[in-house]
Amino acid sequence: MGNISRRSFVGSVAAAGGACLLPQAMAFAPAGKWWRSATAYQVYPASFCDSNGDGVGDIPGIISKLGYLQDLGIGFIWLSPVYASPMVDNGYDISDYQDINPLFGTLADMDRLVAEAKSRGIGIVMDLVVNHTSDEHRWFKAARQSRDSEFRDYYIWRDPKPDGSPPNGLQSAFGGSAWTLDEHTGQFYLHLFASAQPDLNWSNPALRQAVYRMMGWWLDRGVAGFRMDVINLVGKDIDREVTADGPMLHPYLREMHEATLKGRDCVTVGEAWGATPRDAIQYSAEESHELSMIFQFEHVQKFWDEKFGKWQPKPIDLVALKAIFNKWQVALADSGWNSLFWGNHDLPRAVSRYGDDGEHRVGSARMLATVLHLMKGTPYVYQGEEIGMTNAGFRHIEQYRDVETLNFHKLQRAAGRSEEEFLAGARANSRDNARTPMQWNARPGAGFTTGKPWLGINGNFTKVNAEGDRADPDGVFRRYQQLIRLRRESALVREGSFKLLYPDHPELFAYQRELAGAKLTVLANFTVRPTRLGVASAGMVESISGRDVFSGKHHVVTAESTFHPYQVLALLEP
Ligand code: GLC
């Protein structure tokens, strides 16, 4: 492939075609911050690859697909939880942080995954779920034995109000009160998620030290870092009913950094719903000594209904969507670091939410990938996104397994919402949309399992699958491969400045990156209709020319140029 000059930037991606796009391992570069040139891939273990026919994906299954992931070019895997768990919330309810759920394999399998991934230049990032445990964790079992238990203070307990009702009005994210009465000891415990997920008491230093020791144990086993589940909740002040972004959040994160992360070449990403750019800088600026980056969800929550929330999504307003990305790109230009994503295991499929999962499925999936991956930050690909997988399309509540969906179904039905309305919301936004099994091929079981899958396989697997998509030089996988490679090879993609173009254009998503005199202009039709740049508006650039980094063709774009549905150009000049 020769050296990585700007010329090869232009030519090689198109020329490389399908052949081997990924030779050299780049992760764990001694210079640190290797994650700034890496792309992440999220594996949701239950739904990725089932090696033993029990209908549930597992660690040996993931190991068997490392070649596929290496071919895609990723730098690290965010592995959703594989710890011991009763699986009330699919592993986000952990009963032992230092053991593996037998459904997924053994600790030896985990060590093998870490080692084999590492030999391919891929880091394994564990999901760190320490806002809460499972109610089957030995800490909680001991804590509920008596008010004097040595572990009582690992959790958050309050007396009932005089009338016997919960201590305050805090609500669970999965619906209903966040308090459950423990009959045996006569106090309520806090759970911001399911009642089987009691919240840990971070104000207890012994608990914090236990968490840090556990993190060190995993880091010593060779994991490349942590994705920190709802980490913005750990500094909570319950008596003031403050849960997110509480007063002790950042002090705890600095303490954690000092105790476990400092001096290690790892990556950390905190899940922080509701974070502002200011918060993000606080978390991710180098001098903060907290995290590498966070996930924030402004572009997701902007399009939820005021009353029914995610269960009644609003249509995407492109001007508003662009304004959000622009705000984050600009705010974190010089300090802090962005993560970039369309989807994850809690969100609908990218192509169903932001693109067209019908006629223009492939084109819109390629457009979405291009728009996202050419911004500044670390992109996260959610399993199946790289082949344009779509929402589940379930028609009956019985098809769902997700605890959140089932809880809200009960609550909203009880509040008078019709079955049809709720199901329409769930079809758009239930977490199970992202959790249907990975579609590897067109054979029965979609190449995911030889058994009965734990959650229904999307009916379109004979058409939408990795084998078929990868055989198509214009497929979705190929575009992800190209984009991931560009990030590794191009300082312009990694570090260049960002400027939103045509902010008020209702159909085009356009921006420009610039570094050392080189410019990359991305122009994307975000709609199913043909569109033009049209008349000058704020941010207008008279005409744009350059060579498309994918096709290698030279383009001159003027106000009159037409963009066909979901067309995207990425023009490099000079
Ligand atoms: C995070 C996870 C989600 C989980 C919740 C509770 O939001 O992404 O899947 O249900 O935390 O752990």
Q: Convert the pLDDT of each residue in 371-393 to its tens digit.
A: 999 999 999 999 999 999 999 99
H/E run at residue 284 = helix 277-284
494-514 pLDDT tens trace? 999 999 999 999 999 999 999
Report residue 535's pLDDT band, with 50, 70 and 90 as the boundaries: low
* Residue of the CA atom closest to atom 4 of ligand 1: 92
Flag whether pLDDT at 8 surpasses 90: no
Residue (of 242, 214, 29) closest to 133 by Cα position: 214
In 280-338, the DSSP E strands lie at: 293-295
pLDDT attached to residue 543? 79
Length of the chain: 574
H/E run at residue 557 = strand 554-557
Q: 284 with 276: CB under 8 angstroms?
A: no
* Residue of the CA atom closest to atom 2 of ligand 1: 229
Residue 108 makes CB contacts below 8 A (sequence gap 6+) with: none
Which one has a higher pLDDT value, 536 or 180? 180
pLDDT attached to residue 534? 84
> In the annotation, is 89 catalytic?
no
pLDDT attached to residue 79? 98
Flag whether pLDDT at 516 surpasses 90: yes
Per-residue pLDDT averaged across 17-41, rounded? Answer: 58
Query: Rounded to the nearest 5 degrees, what angle is found at the Cα of 390, between the Cα atoms of 385 and 393?
Result: 150
Taking CB atoms and a 6 Å cutoff, what residues make up the pocket around ligand 1?
Answer: 89, 92, 129, 193, 229-230, 271, 345-346
Across 16-25, 104-113, 275-284, least confident range = 16-25
Q: Cβ-count burial of 5 within 10 angstroms (0-12 exposed, 13-18 middle, 19+ buried)?
A: exposed
CA distance 20 to 318: 36
Q: In the 8-state DSSP scheme, what is residue 397?
A: G
Helix segments in 73-123, DSSP class H:
107-119
Among 42, 47, 79, 89, residue to substitute to test ligand 1 (most atoms within 8 Å of Cβ): 89
The radius of gyration computed from the CA coordinates of the chain, to the nearest angstrom, equals 24
pLDDT attached to residue 541? 62
SS3 323: helix
Name the token pair of 238. Answer: 């319950």
Residue (of 566, 71, 56) closest to 350 by Cα position: 566
Q: What's the gap in Å between 404 CA and the centre of ligand 1?
A: 10
Flag whether pLDDT at 54 surpasses 50: yes
Report residue 31's pLDDT band, with 50, 70 and 90 as the boundaries: low
CA distance 483 to 340: 13
Flag whether pLDDT at 15 surpasses 60: no
Flag whether pLDDT at 9 surpasses 80: no
Q: What's the gap in Å between 173 CA and the centre of ligand 1?
A: 9
Q: Which atom of ligand 1 is nearest to the CA of 345?
A: 9
Name the token pair of 131. Answer: 């806002």
Q: Cβ-count burial of 181 within 10 angstroms (0-12 exposed, 13-18 middle, 19+ buried)?
A: middle
Q: What's the gap in Å between 316 CA and the centre of ligand 1?
A: 24
Among 346, 406, 408, residue to substitute to test ligand 1 (most atoms within 8 Å of Cβ): 346
Flag whether pLDDT at 14 surpasses 90: no
Flag whether pLDDT at 28 surpasses 60: no
H/E run at residue 569 = strand 568-573
Name the token pair of 504. Answer: 């008020």
Residue (of 211, 336, 189, 219) closest to 276 by Cα position: 336
Flag whether pLDDT at 515 surpasses 50: yes
Q: What's the gap in Å between 373 CA and the centre of ligand 1?
A: 25
* CA atoms 452, 310, 87, 384: torsion sign: positive
Helix segments in 19-155, DSSP class H:
59-64, 66-72, 107-119, 138-143
Per-residue pLDDT averaged across 7-19, rounded? Answer: 36
Please identify which of the residues 109, 135, 199, 229 carries the catalytic annotation: 229
> In the annotation, is 229 catalytic?
yes
With pLDDT > 90 as the criterion, what percentage of the chain qualifies?
91
Please identify which of the residues 58, 89, 271, 469 carries the catalytic annotation: 271
- Per the prediction, the chain carries an average pLDDT of 93
Q: Which residues pair with 220 in a beta bridge?
A: none
Q: How many CB atoms lie within 10 A of CB 239?
A: 9
Distances (CA, A) of 256 to 97, 211, 222, 289, 504: 17, 9, 18, 9, 43
Query: Rounded to the nearest 5 degrees, what angle is found at the Cα of 203, between the Cα atoms of 172 and 145?
Result: 70
pLDDT attached to residue 78? 98
Report residue 537's pLDDT band, with 50, 70 and 90 as the boundaries: low
Q: What's the gap in Å between 270 CA and the centre of ligand 1?
A: 12
pLDDT attached to residue 313? 86
Q: Cβ-count burial of 389 within 10 angstroms (0-12 exposed, 13-18 middle, 19+ buried)?
A: buried
Entry pTM: 0.94
Q: 41 with 77: CB under 8 angstroms?
A: yes
Q: Which atom of ligand 1 is nearest to the CA of 346?
A: 9
Per-residue pLDDT averaged across 249-266, rounded? Answer: 97
Name the token pair of 197. Answer: 């997920």
Q: 367 with 566: CB under 8 angstroms?
A: yes
H/E run at residue 271 = strand 267-271
pLDDT attached to residue 2? 28
Distances (CA, A) of 245 to 18, 237, 269, 274: 46, 9, 16, 9
Read off the amino acid at residue 331.
A
Flag whether pLDDT at 5 surpasses 70: no
pLDDT attached to residue 12? 38
Residue 415 makes CB contacts below 8 A (sequence gap 6+) with: none
